[in-house]
Structure 1
Amino acid sequence: MMHSPTVLIIGGGATGTGIARDLALRGVDVMLVERNGLSSGASSRSHGLLHSGARYAEANRVGAEECIAENRILRSIAGACIRDTGGLFVQLAEDDPEYFDEKRAACDEIGIETTLLSGTEVRAHVPDLTAEVELAMWVPDGVVYPSRLCAANAADAEGHGATVHPHAPLEEMVVEDGRVERALVGGEVGAEVEPDHVINASGAWAGRVASMAGIEVGMAPSRGVMVSVAYEGLGPALNRCRNPDDGDIVVPHEEEAVLGTTSVPVADPDDYEQADWEIETSVRECATMLPPVADAPTIRTWWGVRPLYAPDEQASDRRGISRGFTTLDHAADGVDNFLSIVGGKLTTYRQMAESVSDLICDKLGVDAVCETATRPLPGAEDPDRLDEFIAAYDGQGPTDEDVSGRD
């Protein structure tokens, strides 16, 4: 059976499902395909930090501004897809106080709320913090449960006419006369698709998908490990206040803490080493902030692959690559109806989706405005319903399986 959607979206992570929702709410006919269940790529294999933007404030003002704007939007629309924990940037005795001051000043300039706390004051909030904490800064970080977030976006997209196929891998694209004429989709679709437009929202796999259309996209993926340990009652997310490095984030869950992460270049986002040293380093470094996690039982360990976009340089230290996002219109590469959305972060998925949806609607002559910043996600205030969405789309990932995947 031949399918002819107006827009075919490749990739069922946060960005892809966000695009499907945005376009469906604007009345556009959408088909989304994913190969291994929703959010099976980077989205549900992250540490799940809802960024305030403070992590990037002094080094990437635009990225920080995007994060704080989307942080506020998600608090208003996402309900039980997120958890408002607050966050702390902590300065240890060995850390550079000038870096702390620079970060706080940048946050103030951007409009990211901060509160300064002494070592004594911050340990009143988190008694297990090391005595080496000399100063801390409270910021509006939080926790995002990506399995719920992606599934809720998909459910709303389908509720407004989209079709979502969680087990339908893209197998081939046929480009003729400067357009993607056909896409062969396997799995539950098992058919050729003739879309008017194709959006590549496949994250770290964006280069591979683009190559099917004869286009090169300069992805520079990197892997990172997350280690979830048994630890109750942490409260705020913890960030080491130093230049980003291995093992500098602790994300609180209800009965666990997620420790992370590393950054190691990978050539193939489907085939990479998972090294013990990454686990050991993350635990050791996170324990410099929160000593009890060094001996806490490990519940689960997983790796994710960051969808970094670096067309001009393949840096060996990929922490220096911008976490901003880029929308690529491949008309400039000779394929008129093909777009890629690359880079970005889970926190900014909605803005990424709005950006590419605006471009598609401009091409289609659709003048409907984006509604996703003000319209609550379905089931947002009903965790059980959100978890039913996850089951329906086979969308459970390791990031939040202790919360959304429990019996």
Structure 2
Amino acid sequence: MTDPTALVAGGGATGAGVARDLTHRGVDVTLVDRDGLGGGTSGRSHGLLHSGARYAESDPVGAEECIQESRVLRDIAGECIRETGGLFVQLSADDPEYFDAKRASCESVGIPTTVIDGDAARAAVPGLSDDVERAMRVPDAVVYPSRLVAANAADARDRGATVHVDAPVEGMTVEGGRITGVELGGSVGERIDPDYVVNAAGAWAGQVAAMAGLDVGMRPTRGVMVSVEYDDLGPVLNRCRSPDDGDIIVPHDSEVVLGTTSVPVTDPDDYPTDEREVERTYRECGAMLPQTVDAPEVRTWWGIRPLYAPDEDERGGRGISRGFVRLDHAEEGVENFASIVGGKLTTYRQMAEATADLVCDRLGVDAECMTADRRLPGVDDPDRLDAFVTEFDGQGPTDADVVESRT
């Protein structure tokens, strides 16, 4: 195997996005993941493309990032996105001042909103609870992460990148303040010597960094998602209250995804689950859309959020926007190594751009980011996108009802 200029460890949305961005700038890249692409956090989300409204009052900078990036993805991602719109609904038990503050915050960062009364909301969403007093339209949408990750990887591959699934990073050698070798297991089974290494392993970033003798403090949390049979829900539904369990319902074709919870875990590979979280998710989502309580369950899955501990301490935990953090490990004595942690699926491309900027600066590559202006491959053809998913073993539970397996 030829040594690449840059090795990207972690094939979720951010890692695939970094690989794509770097290849557009002319950098030779190898992308590896221990499983299929998107097998970690990206493929186990609720599939909400955030407008930013969820974070508007708690983190206006993060909210502005979301609205900007969601518009970019609508331009470049085609059938990876489903345009649905969103509603933030206020139930009778919810604080009306919170609703008003959220609307004002949305307007201040450029997120368009329209307020409708409860009757208009029920006319727009049949089956919506009689307890809904008013609602606010926002430009939320649905993202199919399996397709999005695979399309980014396909674009990188088409531009010369090497992509390996089933290729875990098993060790690193650091000599003279540089990573001089990376041991890859699984389908590769050999050592390579990249000029630069990007750690995009998400909730597992701490484990990858530890191989280089570094401490990247992650604080992962688990969350449950439940997909149930439900036809013809139009917009994404959000409960208009401080973020809590069971306050998002995401529509697919003939299903809806109910989510989610937030419970700290110590090991992203080995953690307990609690059926009470599933029950609470049903109950809380049912307060918005009552028929979901008794709807037939299709599948249940748990996702792990890749939260960065210092950032969480600063922001105050749940309910505050999940910002991303780029760590240049040259500051800790390993000059050709960086980690990208935290963030949201909606802002993956921006995270990748920030990371690629650093890599290019360290490699002496003078090239600007072009990923916001170039459409991903295959995005006008769902069959082609789904073939990419199969190629990279990228099917996750989030969009299993939409993405057609080509095995």
Shared fold by TM > 0.5? Answer: yes
Asked if 1:208 is matched to 2:207, the reply is: yes
Structure 2 alignment gaps of length 5 or more: none
Q: Output the TM-score relative to the length of structure 2.
A: 0.98
Q: Output the TM-score relative to the length of structure 1.
A: 0.98
Q: Which amino acid aligns with 1:404?
A: V
| Matched position secondary structure for 2:93 | coil
Q: Which runs of 4+ in 1 moved over 4 A?
A: 312-315
- For the 8 Å contact 1:263–1:318, the answer to whether it is kept is no
Q: Which amino acid aligns with 1:372?
A: T
- For the 8 Å contact 2:55–2:321, the answer to whether it is kept is no
Structure 1: how far apart are the matches of 2:386 and 2:303? 22
- For the 8 Å contact 2:15–2:31, the answer to whether it is kept is yes
Taking structure 1 as reference, are residues 219 and 293 closer, same or farther at Cα in structure 2, changes over 3 Å only? same
Residues 316-373 of structure 1 deviation map (CA, whole Å, 9 limit, x = unaligned): x841554010100001111000000010000000000000001111111211211110
- For the 8 Å contact 1:250–1:286, the answer to whether it is kept is yes
User: Could you say which residue in structure 2 is the equivalent of 1:340?
Assistant: 339
1:2-21, aligned counterparts within 5 Å? Answer: 3-21=2-20
- For the 8 Å contact 1:264–1:318, the answer to whether it is kept is no
Residues 373-404 of structure 1 deviation map (CA, whole Å, 9 limit, x = unaligned): 01000001100000000000000000001000
User: Could you say which residue in structure 2 is the equivalent of 1:56?
Assistant: 55
What is the aligned length? 406
- For the 8 Å contact 1:21–1:156, the answer to whether it is kept is yes
Asked if 1:231 is matched to 2:236, the reply is: no
Structure 2: how far apart are the matches of 1:180 and 1:285? 48
Residues 243-289 of structure 1 deviation map (CA, whole Å, 9 limit, x = unaligned): 00000000000000000000000000000112101110101100000
Q: Which amino acid aligns with 1:45?
A: R
User: Could you say which residue in structure 2 is the equivalent of 1:331?
Assistant: 330
Q: Which amino acid aligns with 2:185?
A: G
Residues 143-189 of structure 1 deviation map (CA, whole Å, 9 limit, x = unaligned): 00000000000000000010010110110011111111100001111
Deviation at 1:142, TM superposition (A): 0.3
User: Could you say which residue in structure 2 is the equivalent of 1:242?
Assistant: 241
Structure 1: how far apart are the matches of 2:155 and 2:89? 39
User: Could you say which residue in structure 2 is the equivalent of 1:381?
Assistant: 380
Taking structure 1 as reference, are residues 322 and 208 closer, same or farther at Cα in structure 2, changes over 3 Å only? farther
1:278-293, aligned counterparts within 5 Å? Answer: 278-293=277-292
User: Could you say which residue in structure 2 is the equivalent of 1:44?
Assistant: 43
Structure 1 alignment gaps of length 5 or more: none
Deviation at 1:305, TM superposition (A): 0.2
Q: Which amino acid aligns with 2:382?
A: P
- For the 8 Å contact 2:77–2:379, the answer to whether it is kept is yes
Structure 2: how far apart are the matches of 1:386 and 1:117? 37
User: Could you say which residue in structure 1 is the equivalent of 2:69?
Assistant: 70
Q: Which amino acid aligns with 1:236?
A: P
1:6-405, aligned counterparts within 5 Å? Answer: 6-311=5-310, 318-320=317-319, 322-405=321-404
Taking structure 1 as reference, are residues 217 and 321 closer, same or farther at Cα in structure 2, changes over 3 Å only? farther
Percent identity, aligned pairs only, is 67
Structure 1: how far apart are the matches of 2:405 and 2:183? 36
Supply the RMSD in Å over aligned alpha carbons.
Answer: 1.4
Taking structure 1 as reference, are residues 254 and 384 closer, same or farther at Cα in structure 2, changes over 3 Å only? same
